[in-house]
Structure formats: structure tokens, C-alpha cells
Amino acid sequence: MEHQCDIIEEILRKYPNATRDALVPILQDVQNACGCLSREAVIRIGAYLRLPASSIYGVATFYNQFRFRPTGKYHILVCRGTSCHVKGASSLLLLLRGKLGIREDGVPAEDGLFSLEAVPCIGACGLGPVMSVNGKLYAGIDSEKKLDAVLEECRKLKDLEGGTVQ
Amino acid sequence: MFEISVNNRNVEAEPGETILSALTRAGIEVPTLCHMKKLTPTGACRICVVELEGMAGLVPSCSTPVEAGMRIFTNSPRVIEARKLIIELLLADHPDDCLYCVRSGSCRLQKLAQDYGVRERIFPPRRRENTLDTASPAIVFDQSKCILCGKCVRTCSEIQKVFAIEFTGRGSNMRVSPAFHDSLNVSSCICCGQCISVCPTGALREKSSLNEVTAALADPAVYPVIQYAPAVSVSLAEEFGMKPGADLSSVLNAALRRLGFRRVFDSAFSADLTVMEEAAELVARLGNGTALPMFTSCSPAWVKFVEEFYPEFLPNLSSCKSPQSMLGALIKSRFAELEELDPRRIFSVSAMPCTAKKFEAERPEIGRDGMADIDAVLTTRELVRLIRMGGIDFEHLDPEAADPPFGERSTAGKLFGASGGVMEAVLRTVHRFLTGKELKSLKVDQVRGSDGLREMKFRIGGTELGVAVVNGVGNARALLDQLKAGRRDLHFVEVMACPGGCAAGGGQPINVMENDRLRARVNSLYASDQGESLRTAHDNCAVQRLYRDFLQKPNSAIAMRLLHTGYEKRDVPL
């Protein structure tokens, strides 16, 4: 917690004399650094910008981009745009939920490795159905085999890092 | 001034005003749902659309400025069709439970559906998930009935400047909510209930205590007593088809006895007592110069506001309990003792113009030995329901007096219902305390009125007091910020959380600000002050008797124990 507070203070220092215009950039910076917007972060940013917590929460919930709970180590976005939908995005989504044991979008599965979010168009309509993992785009995921390959890649990466999931 | 044509008739309009404002002045009614007088229009609900010649689409009259030569049609078939469609769309995700809704009869959406002849559901129901928030002691928030007009959000932020609620989410997921989708109960909500007063539907309502009260009235083992606030007695008349503002105290006493209350007390009596305690406290603070200016503490929403937003001013709040809580404490101590009653048998009800009083009654300090002083608080609206349920007809009731020992009051206590009333009542008594003489003119003109912030210099003997009267916590912020910045010329400040004071409280009959009812109520309070002879709290014999026999003197040890309290900083997301 201490650590997160320091990160937020450091970000705020980059915005001296900021007004409400700086709200969205600050929210983006904090989310990038901390993974999500915690309650404490929202209240601290509000105190800094002299904005009520309710207003900040209102702005942050307006955009799909902002999250209030930490994601898994690998955060998967599945495109739900029209073009991907036609190419079978909804079955991809169902398949993913089942495979990863995801109960609620945005909340990591029990192992903490993956989290999943369905989003409006990612902007790669010619390549559907598309998904992205931590920002890296995977195109044409139209079979279970291709999906498994992507997930396997992530798991291997994790093993290579030997990292534990936070 | 120029002319515009409305429905082929000429109507005068002023440059810069909106079409709606010109139409309203000309007596042409246009329905609105999101419109709020004196605030910037948002044009959110579109129900006020009119047809404007030369424009392809209909325009919202609330947010379109008038221009010379405009030709407007307010009820052409196209307009009617559009409004009807808007209502049908609003009803698409609205529950069909009008029969069970507390706002049936005072619901704007219901009235519009009636007026525009919506007789069947044309869109398949699309219900939002049930997100009923009942955790607050004062306010129930029923998302399923919300039409997202935004009036509650604007009242909370732009008028009261509390910012407890905001629009969250986007599109079909949008809803009104406190930060983090918390419950109102743990938000910065001060329970003032002004959101309820402006809500066009039943989405916001008070947390009702009627069931507890009717159960207590029916239980022979329980000894039910009731007190009612000054503002309540002047706000009931219009609900029963009588002249708005008429003071019904004496018939209300009779009605409450018919309903089964064993004793009926007047909170204006304990308002007199508050005056005595608060005047003595002010005199003491003026003497030693500490914690000035002193703030009144009768308004529980204002107290909560200070606890949350300006904890540095907690020492400035008067330690006096509100009249409700003073009387509550006396009922379960002095009254129980006199009547040889077990205080735990007493069910103490209060009827208040206020939703925050429900919150106040639940404060742990308001009671002793694990026993609450006030068992249930009814808003004026709930009291109206209770009286209707009891089949009471005011026309057939003879006037009765409130019960001793807490039934006698001066008009000073009665003035608590008006913004500036506590100030005026306390100044009369402070003058007496400091000089030993009565004020030459008991009427203190400068503190009367309806402005959100009024200030004056008040001379008592050789000293000049700076006093201020504030109504609406939004207006209090400006003053508090001045004090924070070092302003030192004020000694006593009255703050009522609701704009318009208790007479326009969040528990009052709906639509108070829409007509002259507020003025009628306040005029009624001032008329009784003009017309009666007992006009100062310190001359109230019942109050004098209570001090002689029980409390000794203002701010005595026993008075401090029963009638005073403390406050603490509240940690809520601001």
C-alpha cells in the first residue's frame, strides 16, 4: 500500500498546479503504474485536483479503459465489434471463459494468471476475430487450436520468467 | 422585449431567455422532467420539446433561446406524438408498480403518462438489475425507478455542494450512484433529503418508520408519545385541502391523540429550551472568546456536513442537541420520572420536516444506557399518511392544547421553522441575558428573508455582534471558506442545511418550491410571532419551571448531561 501511495505521489508531481483538465491523463498514468484505480487512488487524486470522489468515479466509469480491480498477470481483451462478431467472437469469448475459469469479466481467475474483458471494437476489423493479451494483438483466432496456442505462449512466458503471479 | 408567435398567438419574450421561460410567463404549460429553475438547462429529458417553424426537428424549449419572430407550436400533433413516445420509452424500464409506490399521486412520470394517455406498454420491459439501497437511515434509493433526469445529482452538487452522488457508467449502463457504487450510507451524503424533494419519481424516498409507529400504537404494553416540529404544523394544511400555511397545531394535537399517542408534545417547547441553552453558551463563549463564531447545531444535516467536510470547525458547533433530541432526552428522563414510567416502555416518536432527523435519532450519543431517546422519526409526508390511515378529519376536530410539561411554547421557539428563526430567538434571549432588559423591538428584521446568506451587525448594550444566517449548506461553504481564510468579525452563525430552512426541509410534502407554499408557511410562523404575547423563550413558564424544578440553570451539569452532545470527524470519501 505504502508503495502504491508513493507511485501516486510521484505521478501527481508531474502535474503541478493541475486542474480538472488533467484528470484523465492522471487516471491513465495511475492505472498504468498500479494496474487499476484503487479507492485510495481516486480519493487522493480528488484531493489533489479539488474534485469530489463521486465526480472522478463518474468520469472513470464513463470510459471502458479504466478498471477498479487488479487484472490477472495476462489481461485479455476480446473484441466484440461487429466485424469480429460476424467472424465468431462470441464463441471465442465463451470458450475463453470456460477454459480460464473466469466467473466475472475483469476479475482474474483463481490462479491469478488470466483476466478477461470483452471490449467494443479494437480497430482491427479486417483480422477478426481478434484478441489482445497485455496489448499484443492476436488476429484470426477462429479455432480452439489457435486459442490454445496463444494461451500456451503466455504460460510458457510465465514459466520462463519463473515468476510468481502477484 | 420582442414578440414571438406561440400557437398562432403573440407572446412577449425577453432577449436571452429560453423559450420555456417565455412560455411559462405567458401561462402556456409545457411539461418538464429535468428542468430546474435558476440552474443551467441540461436538456436531458426532451419532454419539453416544441415545434419551431423552419427547423427540421423539434427543439427542447428549456434550452433553446428565444429569437424575435419565432413561430412556435407547443401542442401540435407532432409534439404530442414525440412527448408520448418519450414517456413510453421512459416507461420501458420502469416498474409497473404505481399502486405500491410511495410517490403515487405526486409522481411526475405518472402524471405525464396520465396526461398523454399512455395506456399500454409498447416496448417490452427491460428491467435494470435490482439495486435497492436501503442502508441509509434516512434515504432509500431505488435505481429501478430512476429516469436519469439528473435533478438529484444537480441538487446535491450544484445547490448543496455535497457531491455525494454522480452519474456513473455510460449509455444503457448509466446510473446515479455515490462514488465506487457504494451505498449512500457510507458516502458523503448528509441525509438532507433535498434529492427526494426534486425527484420526479419514486426513485428517492425517505426510509419510512410508519410500520414501527403503527405497531407501537397498537401495542398495549407500549406508551407512545409524539412531538412535532414547528415547520410540520404549518405544512399540513394544503395536504388536507385547507389554506396553505395555516397553523394546524391545535387540531393536530387532537388528531395525534385520536391516533393513540398518550402524550403530544410541541418541539417548539424544546426549541425554547434550545434557545436558553444556546444563548447561555454564546454568552459564555463571548466572555472567554473561544470557538467563535458559534454555529447553531439544530440541523443534523448541517452537523454531518461539518463533521465530513470541515472538521476543523467542529469546536465552533454549539454543543446543544437539536430541539428533537433535547425533548427526546427529557421525555425518557424527567417525564418518565414524573409519570413513574419505565423509560423503556416509552416509544418516543417525532414528526419532523426533515429526513436527516432520522439519521440524528440513530446517532449513538442521542440516548443513554443503550436506550435511544427517539424511537422513530416521521417526516411530514409520513405523518400525512398516518393521519389519512387513521381516518382523521381535521374539520371535525376541536382544538386541543399540547400536553404539559412540554406543551407550552413561546413564538420564539415556533420561529425555528423559518430560516433566521433560531438566530432571532437566540438574539432576544442573549440580549436579556447580557443586559437584563428586553430588546426594544423583538422583531429582528435583518435576519428574516429568504436569501441564502444574510449578515448583520447586532448591538447588545455596548457590544456589537456580527451575525449571519445561512440556509442551504452550499451557501455555508462560501462562509466557511472565508472563516478559514481568516475572517474574524462574526460571533454567531445560524445554518440550516436545506435551502429555505426547515419549512422547505427534505421531509416536507413534495413540490414545495414549485409554488408559494414555502412563503405561506414562513408567513404563518411570523404571523404567530406578530400576534401572540409570549414571544421570548426565557419568559416561557414551562421552561422556567423545568429549570427551577429539574435543570437548575442553563448549561448546569445536569443540563450539559441531558441537553448537550459532542461531534466527531467522519471519514467518508469526499
Rounded Cα distance, B271 and B269, in Å:
5
Evaluate if residue B175 carries a pLDDT over 60.
yes
Q: Is B502 a catalytic residue?
A: yes
Flag whether A140 is in a domain.
yes
pLDDT tens digits for range A74-105: 989 999 999 999 999 999 999 999 999 888 87
State the amino acid at position A137 in one-letter form.
L
Helices A23-34 and A53-62: crossing angle, nearest 10°?
Answer: 80
Q: Which CATH number covers residue B515?
A: 3.40.50.1780
CB distance B166–A42 less than 8 Å? no
Catalytic entry in B206, B277, B308, B360: B360
CB distance A52–B178 less than 8 Å? no
Contacts of B169 in chain A (CB under 8 A): 61-62
- pLDDT value, residue A2: 59
Flag whether B303 is in a domain.
yes
Flag whether A166 is in a domain.
no
CB distance B166–A58 less than 8 Å? yes
Q: Which of A54, A61, A62 sits opposite B165 (nearest CB)?
A: A54
Q: What is the mean pLDDT of residues A99-120?
A: 85
B510 and B428: one domain? yes
Evaluate if residue B574 carries a pLDDT over 80.
yes
Evaluate if residue B146 carries a pLDDT over 80.
yes
Instruction: Say what the pTM is.
Output: 0.93
Q: What is the mean pLDDT of residues A15-26?
A: 95
Q: Give B504 or A158, the one with higher predicted confidence.
A: B504
- pLDDT value, residue A164: 46
Measure in Å the smallest separation between the Cα of A24 and chain B Cα atoms. Answer: 15
- Picking from A42, A62, A82, the residue at the C-terminal end of a domain is A62
What is the 8-class DSSP label of residue A120?
S
Q: Are B330 and B550 in contact (CB under 8 A)?
A: no
Q: What is the mean pLDDT of residues B202-223?
A: 97
Q: Is B400 a catalytic residue?
A: no
B268 and B308: one domain? yes
Evaluate if residue A161 carries a pLDDT over 90.
no
Flag whether B304 is in a domain.
yes
Q: What is the mean pLDDT of residues A105-115?
A: 84
Flag whether A17 is in a domain.
yes
B281 and B416: one domain? yes
- pLDDT value, residue B54: 93
Flag whether A69 is in a domain.
no
Evaluate if residue A163 carries a pLDDT over 80.
no
Flag whether B117 is in a domain.
no
Q: Domain of B30? A: 2-75
Q: What is the mean pLDDT of residues B480-497?
A: 96
Flag whether B110 is in a domain.
no
What is the grid cell recorded at B250? 391545535
Rounded Cα distance, B468 and B480, in Å:
11
Q: Which CATH number covers residue B26?
A: 3.10.20.740
Q: Which of A47, A54, A63 sits opposite B178 (nearest CB)?
A: A54
A80 and A145: one domain? yes
- pLDDT value, residue B172: 87
CA dihedral (B51, B52, B54, B59) positive or negative: negative
Q: What is the mean pLDDT of residues B15-24?
A: 96
Q: Give A59 or B517, the one with higher predicted confidence.
A: A59
Q: Is B34 a catalytic residue?
A: no
Measure in Å the smallest separation between the Cα of B167 and chain A Cα atoms. Answer: 6
- Picking from A13, A40, A62, the residue at the C-terminal end of a domain is A62
> How far lies B15's CA from each of B2, B29, B560, B568, in Å?
8, 20, 59, 51
- Of B356, B354, B365, B383, nearest to B326 (Cα)? B365
A31 and A94: one domain? no
B280 and B424: one domain? yes
Flag whether B49 is in a domain.
yes
Q: Is B88 a catalytic residue?
A: no
CB distance A52–B163 less than 8 Å? yes
Q: Is B298 a catalytic residue?
A: yes
Sequence-distant (6+) residues with CB within 8 A of B491 are: B282, B286, B292, B293, B294, B465, B466, B467
Rounded Cα distance, B239 and B521, in Å:
13
Residues 44-73 of chain A with CB under 8 A from chain B are 46-47, 52-58, 61-63, 68
Share of chain B above pLDDT 70, in %: 99
Flag whether A9 is in a domain.
yes
Q: What is the mean pLDDT of residues A102-111?
A: 82
A55 and A94: one domain? no
- Picking from B180, B206, B232, the residue at the C-terminal end of a domain is B206
Catalytic entry in B51, B238, B281, B400: B281
Residue A100, sorted as left (phi over 0), alpha (psi -120 to 50) or beta, turns out to be alpha
- Of B455, B478, B454, B337, nearest to B405 (Cα)? B337
Q: Which CATH number covers residue A8?
A: 1.10.10
Q: Is B111 a catalytic residue?
A: no
- pLDDT value, residue B88: 96
Rounded Cα distance, B19 and B36, in Å:
14
CB contact A39 to B (< 8 Å): yes
B19 and B47: one domain? yes
> Whole-number mean pLDDT of chain B?
95
A88 and A44: one domain? no
State the amino acid at position B14 in one-letter form.
E
A98 and A119: one domain? yes
Q: Is B84 a catalytic residue?
A: no
- pLDDT value, residue A128: 83
A47 and A125: one domain? no
Flag whether A98 is in a domain.
yes
Q: Which CATH number covers residue B148?
A: 3.30.70.20
Beta pairing, strands B463-471 & B453-460 = antiparallel
Q: Domain of A103? A: 74-161
Q: What is the mean pLDDT of residues B530-544?
A: 96
A119 and A139: one domain? yes
Q: Are B472 and B498 in contact (CB under 8 A)?
A: yes
A80 and A155: one domain? yes
What is the grid cell recorded at B411? 413564538
- Picking from B206, B236, B270, the residue at the C-terminal end of a domain is B206
- pLDDT value, residue B517: 84
B411, with CB counted inside 10 A (0-12, 13-18, 19+), is buried
A85 and A50: one domain? no
Tracing cell 489457435 back to the chain, one arrives at A146
Q: Is B235 a catalytic residue?
A: no
Sheet order of strands, B49-52 included: B9-13, B2-6, B71-73, B49-52, B59-60
B390 and B467: one domain? yes
User: From start to end of B31-152, where are the E strands?
Assistant: 49-52, 59-60, 71-73, 132-133, 139-142
- Picking from B17, B52, B75, the residue at the C-terminal end of a domain is B75
- pLDDT value, residue B142: 95
Q: Are A80 and A92 in contact (CB under 8 A)?
A: no
Residue B514: pLDDT band (50, 70, 90) is low
Flag whether A68 is in a domain.
no
Q: Give B129 or A24, the one with higher predicted confidence.
A: A24
- pLDDT value, residue B461: 86
Rounded Cα distance, B469 and B281, in Å:
18
Measure in Å the smallest separation between the Cα of A80 and chain B Cα atoms. Answer: 16
A85 and A22: one domain? no
Task: Give the number of residues written for chain B.
Answer: 574
Chain A to chain B Cβ contacts (< 8 Å): 52
Residue in chain B closest to A65 (alpha carbons) equals B169
Rounded Cα distance, B62 and B65, in Å:
8
B169 and B215: one domain? no
B196 and B231: one domain? no
CB contact A37 to B (< 8 Å): no
B32 and B173: one domain? no
Share of chain B above pLDDT 90, in %: 93
B277 and B158: one domain? no
Rounded Cα distance, B545 and B552, in Å:
10
Q: Which of B163, B177, B180 sits opposite A55 (nearest CB)?
A: B163
Sequence-distant (6+) residues with CB within 8 A of B361 are: B137, B324, B325, B328, B350, B372, B373, B374, B375, B376, B377
Angle, vertex CA B210, rays to CA B204 and CA B212, nearest 5: 125
A88 and A31: one domain? no
Q: What's the domain count of chain B?
A: 3
pLDDT tens digits for range B80-119: 999 999 999 999 989 989 999 999 999 999 999 999 999 9
Flag whether B485 is in a domain.
yes
- pLDDT value, residue A166: 42
Rounded Cα distance, B152 and B182, in Å:
17
B133 and B276: one domain? no
- pLDDT value, residue A162: 55
- Picking from A62, A88, A113, the residue at the C-terminal end of a domain is A62
Rounded Cα distance, B177 and B133, in Å:
10
Q: What's the domain count of chain A?
A: 2
Residue in chain B closest to A62 (alpha carbons) equals B169
Chain B interface with A: residues with Cβ < 8 Å: 157, 163-170, 177-181, 187-188, 573-574
B217 and B365: one domain? yes
A99 and A134: one domain? yes
Q: What is the mean pLDDT of residues B389-413?
A: 95
Flag whether B505 is in a domain.
yes
pLDDT tens digits for range B455-476: 999 999 888 999 999 999 999 9
> Whole-number mean pLDDT of chain A?
89
Contacts of B179 in chain A (CB under 8 A): 42, 52-54, 56-57
Q: What are phi and psi of A132, to 5 degrees?
A: -130, 145
Rounded Cα distance, B153 and B180, in Å:
15
Distance between first and last Cα of chain A: 14
Sequence-distant (6+) residues with CB within 8 A of B534 are: B409, B410, B411, B540
pLDDT tens digits for range A65-76: 899 988 888 989
Measure in Å the smallest separation between the Cα of A64 and chain B Cα atoms. Answer: 9
Measure in Å the smallest separation between the Cα of A20 and chain B Cα atoms. Answer: 15
Flag whether B151 is in a domain.
yes
- pLDDT value, residue A1: 52
Flag whether A10 is in a domain.
yes
- pLDDT value, residue B513: 52
Q: Which CATH number covers residue A141?
A: 3.40.30.10
ipTM value for the complex: 0.91
